Chain A
Amino acid sequence: MTNMLEIKDLHAEVGGTEILKGLSLTIGEGEVHAIMGPNGAGKSTLSYVLSGRDGYEVTSGSITYRGQDLFELAIEERAAAGIFLGFQYPVELPGVSSTTFLKTALNAVLRQRGEDELDAVQFMKRLRVHTKSLNISDDMLRRGVNVGFSGGEKKRNEILQMALLEPYLAVLDETDSGLDIDALKVVADGVNALRGPTRSMLVITHYQRLLDYIVPDFVHVLAHGRIARTGGKELALELEEKGYGEFADAPHGSEAA
């Protein structure tokens, strides 16, 4: 069986500074991995490298996604191939209604996958299934994408997009930040509903709290541009207790940060 994702010795720079310094990580089909780590460790950078964002330059290493060299794909091709990034800070698109955005995105992805595009009626049908469970109002769908959305609405909207686009690999970047406990539960329920044997997830978080609701198979600590430690879900609890103190200093053998 091929793995969902194999990252080998990945080095990446942003604005001329190396942020990822030999990161390796393997995610199997259907697995949920959590990445934790101090602020500025490079968690978001990893998510951008996976999605192919300009300015995040890979200097060495490899990423194989479902058996394919990921670097050969443009951003939108990766999206169509099933990589979804839930944004830490979802972007506002004034004037573009959420419905229009969701339909345009879904059809763009379907087209690239060689499937039939949906007409307005088929689309609304599919949309309704998800808006209900995620508690997304019609008013939200009419408004400009993320414009005037509360923190919780923005994150629910991200999960809605993930549900519609049906990715193989979902990278969720601090989906819990800025959420109160009720909002967190709605989002976590939404994510859990999408767990399945062919869908893998990389859940990035700073806090252990989210992992009470989205229980991971593996927990990794990202520090100094590498996976500094890997464990089961109990690692998250340990980090909660001790903090990231032990990762604050450069590990032996690496250059000073």
Chain B
Amino acid sequence: MSYTTETADQVSSIAGEKYKYGFVTDIETELAPMGLNEDIIRFISAKKDEPDWMLQWRLRAYERWLTMEEPEWAKVEYPEIDFQDAYYYAAPKSQKDGPQSLDEVDPELLRTYEKLGIPLHEQQMLAGVAVDAVFDSVSVATTFRKELAKAGVIFCPISEAVKDYPELVQKYLGSVVPYSDNFYATLNSAVFTDGSFVYIPKGVRCPMELSTYFRINQANTGQFERTLIIADEGSYVSYLEGCTAPQRDENQLHAAVVELVLMDDAEIKYSTVQNWYPGDADGKGGIYNFVTKRAACRGRNSKVSWTQVETGSAVTWKYPSCILQGDNSVGEFYSVAITNNLQQADTGTKMIHIGENTSSTIIAKGISAGRSQSTYRGLVRMQPGAKGGRNYTQCDSLLIGDKCGAHTVPYIENRNRTAQIEHEATTAKISEDQLFYCSQRGLTDEEALSMIVNGFCKQVLQELPMEFAVEAQKLVGISLEGSVG
């Protein structure tokens, strides 16, 4: 059945007469019509063959979203987004539509891959080059699935989980980030198209690091991903998100939601390397990355660790948070945010201490170059019950050149006298002296910058899984290209 007829059938069977008109011409293009309304949401839900409860949830989110205002408190500036001037559903591109070989891929993009040392077959996958079925990675992905299934781990696209594991999804989806949470999360709840679902059963240590990377060939990651990870009692998983390659995208807005749920003694390590298209040197184009990530440490002794390396996007608005509800639970946030040219990043975390003896650590490193602006914004809150709660926060900013800005905005709320909160902040600048010293020892300015900035970020980068850390180090250098000299 061709794509067009399949879609038309589904739409008419689920939505009835009403939709016949709206979609007839547009579906030819494999896009839902432009704009956002209830019909579009029904279209998405139908396209994904979702059960009714999922559609209803989306519709409730949409209704709520209509009443909400875009947040304006972040230190970022961008032209007003016209939410009606966007497509909310684009069918996964068929292999025929994608580039047929690397010759058809932007050479600039390939140059970056090369610098990152990404092997050729992976370059093809990342660039969306049609890969045939006997291709290595496909069998690799299948092997992973088998091994995971043996351990009882569920790792699949969330659209599949909605159908295959409805009890789990219904129970936990929106339980950490409710559909009414904030403007972008609510929008995501209404229109999310895909993302990952992970369930680690009791007592299971996930036998491998899970990565969205392994799903790249199955689905083009959408602009509104939704990820849900549930770590049951005594389980452990390390999850890697985002490939370390730029993903060019004409569409501007990327609003993802990530929810993590941790039971007693569970541990999740969530690592992100974000390198969306940052726009050009004049600030034209680029992704608006408005992301809501939150972990609920529900169980005693549970531990969540967010590590992020943010180098891409024109505007980043992102605060991976930890709700430390279980006694003795631990939250960690390790962040590197690099902005160059006209990029803006407003990022940080929230540590909400609810249970007794909960502890949190925040290490945030901001690097600003060009005419960019970088803000650390973080909240540490000790609730009245957070007896013996502890937080240590360290925010370091590094400036390259004198046209950029770095800002630190810590919010500290302590409602328990036995809790301790420590905050340290530093700002430094890369000097001409330092660059000259390095050049005199044989390094180019770019090599020197990369070395100095990597040194500055070491504390965070060492939290990344090994293979990721190596790529992240190279990425740090690449993202600062052209910022001196």
- Residues of A whose CB lies within 8 Å of any CB of B are 51, 53-54, 74-76, 79-80, 84-85, 87, 90-97, 100-101, 104-106, 108-109, 112, 144, 161, 165
Residues facing A in B382-440 (CB within 8 A) are 428, 431-434, 436-440
Q: Which of A74, A92, A97, A108 contacts B441 (CB 8 A)?
A: A108
Chain B residue with Cβ nearest A171? B440
B433 pairs with A91, CB closer than 8 A:
yes
A54 pairs with B436, CB closer than 8 A:
yes
Q: Does B219 contact A (CB under 8 A)?
A: no
Chain B residue with Cβ nearest A83? B440
Q: Which of B431, B432, B442, B455 contacts A76 (CB 8 A)?
A: B442
Residues facing A in B439-485 (CB within 8 A) are 439-444, 447, 451-452, 454-458
B437 pairs with A87, CB closer than 8 A:
yes
A76 pairs with B444, CB closer than 8 A:
yes
Closest Cβ–Cβ distance, residue B449 to chain A (whole Å) = 11
15 A-B interface contacts by CB (under 8 A):
A53-B436, A75-B439, A87-B437, A92-B434, A93-B437, A94-B428, A95-B458, A96-B455, A97-B455, A101-B451, A104-B443, A104-B447, A105-B438, A108-B442, A108-B447
A87 to B438, CA, bound (A): 12
Q: A79-B440, A94-B456, A105-B441 are in contact. Are A54 and B451 (CB under 8 A)?
A: no
- Residues of B whose CB lies within 8 Å of any CB of A are 428, 431-434, 436-444, 447, 451-452, 454-458
A96 pairs with B452, CB closer than 8 A:
yes
Chain A residue with Cβ nearest B428? A94
A161 pairs with B441, CB closer than 8 A:
yes
Residues of A within 8 A of B452 (CB): 93, 95-96
B442 pairs with A112, CB closer than 8 A:
yes
Most buried by A among B432, B436, B440, B451: B440
A53 to B452, CA, bound (A): 19
A76 pairs with B439, CB closer than 8 A:
yes
Residues of B within 8 A of A53 (CB): 436
B444 pairs with A100, CB closer than 8 A:
no
Chain B residue with Cβ nearest A85? B440
The main secondary structure of chain B at its interface with chain A is helix
B434 pairs with A108, CB closer than 8 A:
no
Q: Which of B428, B434, B451 contacts A104 (CB 8 A)?
A: B451
A76 pairs with B443, CB closer than 8 A:
yes
Most buried by B among A93, A144, A161: A93
Closest Cβ–Cβ distance, residue A117 to chain B (whole Å) = 12
A97 to B458, CA, bound (A): 10
Closest Cβ–Cβ distance, residue A85 to chain B (whole Å) = 5
A106 to B433, CA, bound (A): 20
Chain B residue with Cβ nearest A75? B439
Residues of B within 8 A of A80 (CB): 442
B436 pairs with A75, CB closer than 8 A:
yes
B442 pairs with A91, CB closer than 8 A:
no
Residues of B within 8 A of A91 (CB): 431, 433-434, 436-437
Q: Which of B428, B431, B441, B454 contacts A79 (CB 8 A)?
A: B441
B434 pairs with A93, CB closer than 8 A:
yes
Q: A53-B436, A54-B432, A93-B434 are in contact. Are A79 and B455 (CB under 8 A)?
A: no
Beyond the given A53-B436, A97-B455, A104-B443, please list 7 additional residue pairs across the A-B interface where CB-CB is below 8 A.
Answer: A54-B436, A92-B434, A93-B434, A95-B452, A105-B441, A105-B442, A108-B441
Residues of A within 8 A of B439 (CB): 74-76, 79
Residues of B within 8 A of A75 (CB): 436, 439-440
A51 pairs with B440, CB closer than 8 A:
yes
Chain B residue with Cβ nearest A161? B441
A97 to B457, CA, bound (A): 12
Residues of B within 8 A of A109 (CB): 441-442
Closest Cβ–Cβ distance, residue A71 to chain B (whole Å) = 16
Residues of A within 8 A of B428 (CB): 94
Closest Cβ–Cβ distance, residue A162 to chain B (whole Å) = 10
A170 to B438, CA, bound (A): 16
- Cβ-closest 7 pairs across A and B: A95-B455, A96-B455, A105-B441, A109-B442, A75-B439, A91-B437, A108-B442
